Amino acid sequence: MLFGKKEDRPQLDMERLPAHIAAVMDGNGRWAQKRGMPRTAGHSAGSEAFQNAAEYLNDLGVKYFTVYAFSTENWKRPEEEVGAIMGLLDRYLRKAIREMTEKNIRLCFFGDLEPLSDSLKQLIAETNEISRHTTGMQVNVCLNYGGRAEIARAARLLAQECAEGRLQPEDITEAAISRKLYSADIPDPDLMIRPGGELRLSNFLLWQNAYTEFYFTDTLWPDMDEAELDRAIAAYQSRKRRYGGI
Ligand code: IPE
Ligand code: IPE
Ligand code: MG
């Protein structure tokens, strides 16, 4: 193993922190099953882990933290699990509005929010309003988010501008596409963390992850504590980013 025993906590170089960390919050169901608990208990533990991670990364000085909370494919799950996740989100957001804003964290949402319940949409609108006044780390919660859906949406928005004569096909550059993504105003992730032992992206930030450094771990998301986050950041700091150069 790269950093010795699992309990070891690596020393971080505070001058070279990733500005933007993305994470797939995966492994909640298995975390609960291992303990003989219902999967929903894992989602509950996962939301605690999210809040801890956000507060820790904010304290460290990370500028952006983008988390995958619910994918466009997660609707395939049994209705009761989807219902439980949505209920948790509702409760979680009420708490987060109080606690995270006290810590000056800004909460934003990426994804197609239209199919969400009216109460969730209302809470998101309230959160956005409060977040306009916070200046700390920006946390982007990806909800009903899919990387392909996001790119298709950007294409539709650009096509609409072409159809209206406001844009020419030759104006559709990489920068023009980037500006139509949910992440329009922020830099691409430097580090993408995937816990839960799966070695795939599962449709997360397909465009933005072009040159991101990946950190895969068997740790399940609810167990993703400060030490494990440090190991991910230390792994990132040990990499040499070349962007195609030498
Ligand atoms: C991630 O945990 C949470 C969501 C996808 C909403 P999972 O529910 O996928 O947990 P595992 O992968 O089944 O353990
Ligand atoms: C990715 O996890 C989505 C979220 C964590 C929100 P999944 O559990 O849905 O991914 P797959 O199905 O294992 O690829
Ligand atoms: Mg999973």
Predicted confidence at residue 5, as pLDDT, reads 57
The CA 29 to ligand 1 mean position distance, Å, reads 5
Ligand 2, atom 9, residue with closest C-alpha: 74
Residue whose C-alpha is closest to residue 181's, from 159, 207, 204: 207
Cβ contact 206:182 at 8 Å: no
Q: Is 30 in the pocket of ligand 1 (CB under 6 A)?
A: yes
For ligand 2, atom 14: residue with the closest CA: 202
How many other β-carbons are positioned within 10 Å of the β-carbon of residue 33?
13
Rg of the Cα atoms in the chain = 18
Can you give the pLDDT of all 246 residues of the chain as single tens digits?
455 455 679 999 999 999 999 999 999 999 999 999 999 999 999 999 999 999 999 999 999 999 999 999 999 999 999 999 999 999 988 888 788 778 899 999 999 999 999 999 999 999 999 888 899 999 999 999 999 999 999 999 999 999 999 999 999 999 999 999 999 999 999 999 999 999 999 999 999 999 999 999 999 999 999 999 999 999 999 999 999 999
Q: Which amino acid residue places its CA nearest to atom 11 of ligand 2?
A: 202
Give the position, in ligand 2's atom list, of the atom nearest the Cα of 24: 5
Q: How far is the CA of 99 from the centre of ligand 2 (A)?
A: 27
**Cβ–Cβ under 8 Å, residues 203 and 22:** no
Q: Which ligand is nearest to the CA of 68?
A: 2
Query: 74 in ligand 2 pocket by Cβ < 6 Å?
Result: yes
E strand or H helix at 142: strand 138-145
Q: Is the four-CA dihedral 69, 22, 39, 128 of positive or negative sign?
A: negative
CA–CA separation, 8 vs 91, rounded Å? 35
Residue nearest ligand 2's atom 3 by CA:
71
Quote the CA–CA distance of 9 and 15 in Å, as a whole number: 18
Q: What domains can you pick out in the chain, each with its CATH number? A: 20-146+190-237 (3.40.1180.10)
Atom of ligand 2 nearest to the CA of 73: 9
Q: Which 3 state secondary structure label does DSSP give 4?
A: coil
Q: What is the pTM of this model?
A: 0.96
Q: Please tell me the predicted confidence (pLDDT) of residue 18.
A: 98
222 lines ligand 1 (CB under 6 A): no
CA–centroid distance, 66 to ligand 2, in Å, is 15
Here the tokens at position 54 are: 């956000």
Q: Give the active site residues.
A: 26, 74
Encoding tokens for residue 10? Answer: 């690596």
pLDDT for 96 equals: 80
CA nearest to 231, candidates 241, 218, 242, 222: 218
Q: Residues 122, 102: contact at Cβ < 8 Å? A: no
Q: 216, exposed or middle or buried, with CB in 10 Å at 0-12, 13-18, 19+?
A: middle
What atom in ligand 2 is closest to the CA of residue 145?
6
Tell me, using a 6 A CB cutoff, whether residue 68 lines ligand 2. Answer: yes
* Atom number in ligand 1 closest to CA 39: 8
Residue with the nearest Cα to atom 5 of ligand 1? Answer: 70
